[in-house]
Structure 1
Amino acid sequence: MQPHGYIPRLIDEQIETLLQIFGAVQIDGPKWCGKTWSGQAHANSMTSLDDQNVLPLAEADPTIALIGGQPHLIDEWQTAPKVRDAVRHDIDSHSNRPGQYILTGSSAPPTEAYEHSGAGRIAHLRMWPMSLVELGKSSGVVSLQGLFASNCPQAAASSSLTDIAEWVCRGGWPASKDRSLQAALYIPRQYLDAVIEDNALRMGKNPAMTRRTIMSLARNNATAATMKTLIRDLYTDDQAQDEEPARSTVSSYIQMLQREYLIEELPCWDAPIKAKNRMRVKPKRYFTDPSLAAAALGLTPTRLLSEGQILGDLFENLAIRDLRIYASAWNGPDKPSLSFYRDEKGLEADIILELPDGRWAAIEIKLGENKVPEAVESLLQVKKKVTANPYARQRDPSFLMVLVGNGAYSYTTAEGIRVVPLSLLGA
């Protein structure tokens, strides 16, 4: 069923592998990121539950959605959550035979909407919009897996700040890949309108408040903004004084946007350091694609180039999107987790990659190469602090890296720090 014009995705190999192991593979992620086409590329038949002629039938009898040659794709399964239970029961009735179903979903329904997690029967994959490698904007010559194996080839890069501003505003939407910039800028704006006008209403939320919340999150993107900060940004002084109702309201809207895969959190690393009082650090929030934050703020590439701080924050969002994609693309069960590091003295690293076997790496993300020296110093301090606790026996990091925007080439500093332009990075 591979659609005509399908662009291979990094997730393809994982879908194929998991279909050989589990009865079903569930692919979740934001609308328009390519889930349906990737599912079709591995399926022999399909039921689309966003078809209003099909949905009422599937709600009345979920087994109707299961009809078709296997692997059978069920698109937008979350619109009729009981279909997922029917999938699980059918897998059980066929002795958990691998490769029966593919489910794709662009919203996370409440867990009470279906009976069982599907553990052991349904494998889960998370999908994002396209990375720079998939868009053809990164050569991928420096890979995350290679970095963990001490392999960082020197290679030339040619990306400019103008390129970065365009990548941020275009985003990784498959529909924008070969479009003009002017056409591509419509896509994230239309995406936000769909979430605000359709999805929010369906979930019982006020569209105006949804839009304001998205704009506030865009203004506080790439930060661990507290609820108090968001309340002050969203409400007048008089309204903000009544903090508890406001806190409950804002929290419910953030949860809704997380369920829609519009925003996602990055947790703080629980580093094995020796400290009398561990500082509890709230997660940072990022948009699932930087173009959504840019669209919420009404930014174009031209305007973004005159907003240095915002461009830096959105480049960080771009880099973290790609790091999530590359980390998730490792074929096998032992994928690196992503977090950030911050201590009570303000020492931080933008990204910590940690493997289940204890190997780890720290990454600083900087828009320009002029920030590399301070990033190197920060990474060396993080390494020193994390490995200083003799009781933790924390091994040295597999690598320390500064991920830059408009660097000319990849190289290794005298201190052993990798410096890599994002346009050279891959899985």
Structure 2
Amino acid sequence: MRRILDEELDGLFGQVAAIAIDGPKGVGKTTTAEQRVRAVVRLDSKAVRESISAEPEQVLDRGRPVLIDEWQKVPEVWDVVRRAVDADPTGGQFLLTGSATPAPGATAHSGAGRIGRLRMRPMTLAERGTSQPTVSFAELLSGRREPLAGTCSLRLTDYVEEIFASGFPAMRGLTGRARRFQLDSYLHNAVDRDVPEQGLAVRKPDAMLSWLRAYAAASATTASYSQILDAATPGQSDKPARSTSIAYRDVLTTLWLLDPVPAWTPGGSQLTRLGQTPKHHLADPALAVRLLGLTREALLDGEGNTIGPQPGSLLGHLFESLVTLCVRVPAQAAEATIGHLRTRNGDHEIDLVAVRDDGRVLAIEVKLANTVDDHDARHLHWLADRIGANLADAIIINTGPNAYRRPDGIGVVPLGLLGP
């Protein structure tokens, strides 16, 4: 399966000597990287790991390009690669894949200027092949505001199925209990094995899973970490310290399992009173529904409670998580960063803001509906009034059948029609 990241590697690896591909386990990093190399050093193998640990410079003896898989298990290889690139910056030599960030100080140098970094996330709808995209994210970001067209056959139940189906490639062919079993195993292995490997001793794994469950219920909200901790420990008067919640957050972030969207803080004085809290998202919304023990029927019936200040159903928040995944992947390919905007008192909010290098933005609202009206566009108009020409474009992503532009210029794009 060709991924959007393949397009990025096509454009970069021929000129950049070393690229590290970061992301949670199971997103396809190794499979993607293997297509581009002559040799592979698999550091998840104990025998290989022990040999390379004894003499990290051995990775330079392989034919190039070479893939160093799970490089964080022998962090010293990072500095070996960095020094090799200093000596010979010829493009296309090293790919490194990592499913965790080593502890601070594990490498002597950040690799800045020598080792480039790309993030790989679970598959977007465009990568899954669920529909044929007709709207290019890169074109929207260009600011040309071209006409939008296309018809999507996906309906609400299809999007719900995609929330449950996961963007992890190996789980795409699973159904029913097999899929639930694998998602449960993924989560339990992360807590029981991966977290301790990151240096955090978890005395009560169930407590961390409860915290993760509360975090899942806070998907697409700006709930405080104290709210999440309270939700994870209902009825307990002797709650864990706030530092425990922070430790959970930090270690799960190093494993790429948490993927929060930071608050957008534009320069200048066009916007004031903006909140600074990130929006919470797990790496894949399928992990969230599994943590919450939801069925498709329950989600469609409006069951499940959210945590946080934003109104809306849990299904609406999980749909926003799916949209966020489908936006972040092409945004990286288009060299844009993703944030969100929310005023401190919550009277104005833009679900996603894609920011170009020149500061111009693509504003995105997410609506769990097959039609949109003027009320749905009010925050986009508010932003346009304040930043003027710095607004490259504005769209509403929904579950409807057609892509088009409203008379006011705002685009309406069914999620299934959004591509890179």
Retained in 2: the 8 A contact 1:77–1:105? yes
In 2, the alpha carbon distance for the partners of 1:380 and 1:416 equals 10
* Alignment coverage as a number of residue pairs: 404
State the TM-score, normalizing by the size of structure 1.
Answer: 0.90
The 5-angstrom pairing of residues 13-412 of structure 1 reads: 13-93=7-87, 95-147=88-140, 148=142, 149-180=144-175, 182-202=177-197, 203-206=199-202, 207-235=205-233, 236-240=235-239, 246-272=241-267, 274=269, 278-307=273-302, 309-330=313-334, 335-345=335-345, 346-370=347-371, 372-384=373-385, 386-387=386-387, 395-405=389-399, 407-412=400-405
Contact 1:146 1:152 in 2 (8 A): no
Deviation at 1:396, TM superposition (A): 4.5
Q: Equivalent residue of 2:281, what SS? A: strand
Matched residue type, 2:319:
F
- Computed over aligned residues only, the root mean square deviation of the Cα atoms, in angstroms, reads 1.9
Q: Report the residue type matching 2:320 in the other structure.
A: E
Q: How far apart are residue 370 of structure 1 and its match?
A: 4.4
Instruction: Report SS of the residue matched to 1:111.
Output: coil
Instruction: Work out the CA distance in 1 between the residues paired with 2:51 and 2:123.
Output: 34
User: Residue type matched to 2:413 in 1?
Assistant: V
12-21 or 160-169, which deviates more: 12-21
Identity %: 32
Counterpart Cα distance in 1 of 2:60 and 2:286: 36
Distance in 1 between residues matched to 2:29 and 2:113, nearest whole Å: 22
User: How far apart in 2 are the matches of 1:350 and 1:255?
Assistant: 24
| Mapped contact 1:348–1:382 kept (Cα < 8 A) | no
| Cα distance change of structure 1 residues 197 and 158 upon mapping to structure 2, 3 Å threshold | same
Unaligned stretches of 5+ in structure 2? 304-312
Q: Compared with structure 1, are the counterparts of its residues 286 and 57 closer, same or farther at alpha carbon in structure 2 (3 Å cutoff)? A: same
Shift of the alpha carbon at 1:209? 2.3
Contact 2:275 2:342 in 1 (8 A): no
Distance in 1 between residues matched to 2:333 and 2:176, nearest whole Å: 28
1:274 to partner: Cα distance? 4.2
Q: CA deviation at 1:279?
A: 4.1
Once residues 248 and 396 of structure 1 are traced to their aligned partners in structure 2, the CA distance between those partners, rounded to angstroms, is 40
Please state whether the residue corresponding to 2:167 is helix, strand or coil.
coil
1:351-388 residue CA offsets vs partner (Å, 9 max, x unmatched): 1111011321211101113454322122112222x23x
Q: 1:289 to 1:400 in 2, by over 3 A?
A: same
Query: 1:319-362 CA distances to partner (integer Å, 9 max, x unpaired)?
Result: 001100011123xxxx1111111124421110111101132121
Q: 1:214 Cα shift?
A: 0.7
Which consecutive residues of structure 1, in runs of 5 or more, have no partner in the other structure?
A: 1-6, 388-393
Residues 276 and 373 of structure 1: CA distance in aligned 2, closer, same or farther (over 3 Å): closer
> Alpha-carbon deviation of 1:404?
0.5
Q: CA deviation at 1:222?
A: 1.1
Q: Distance between the aligned counterparts of 2:250 and 2:379, measured in 1?
A: 33
Post-superposition Cα deviations, 1:101-148, rounded to whole Å, max 9, x if no partner, equal 100000011231001111221111000011111100132210112223
Whole-angstrom CA distance in 2 between matches of 1:184 and 1:134? 19
> Contact conserved, 1:362 with 1:399, CA < 8 A, in 2?
yes
Residue 295 of structure 1 deviates from its aligned partner by 1.0
Contact 1:18–1:123 (CA under 8 A) maintained in structure 2: no
Q: Structure 2 length as normaliser, TM-score?
A: 0.91
- CA 1:372–1:32: 2 relative to 1, 3 Å: farther
Judge which range, 110-119 or 23-32, deviates more: 110-119
- For residues 172 and 320 of structure 1, the distance between their equivalents in structure 2, rounded to whole angstroms, comes to 13
In 2 relative to 1, CA 187–140 (structure 1 residues): closer, same or farther, beyond 3 Å? Answer: farther
- 8 Å CA contact 2:18, 2:92 repeated in 1: yes
Structure 2 CA distance, aligned partners of 1:336 and 1:13?
Answer: 15
Query: Is this contact kept in 2: 1:213–1:254, CA < 8 A?
Result: no
Task: Encode CA deviations 1:272-329: one digit per residue, 9 max, x unaligned.
Answer: 5748973442111111111111111112323322226111111000000110001112
1:169, 1:299 within 8 Å by CA — same for their partners in 2? no
For the 8 Å contact 1:66–1:74, the answer to whether it is kept is: no
User: Would you say the 8 A contact 1:138–1:425 is kept in 2?
Assistant: no
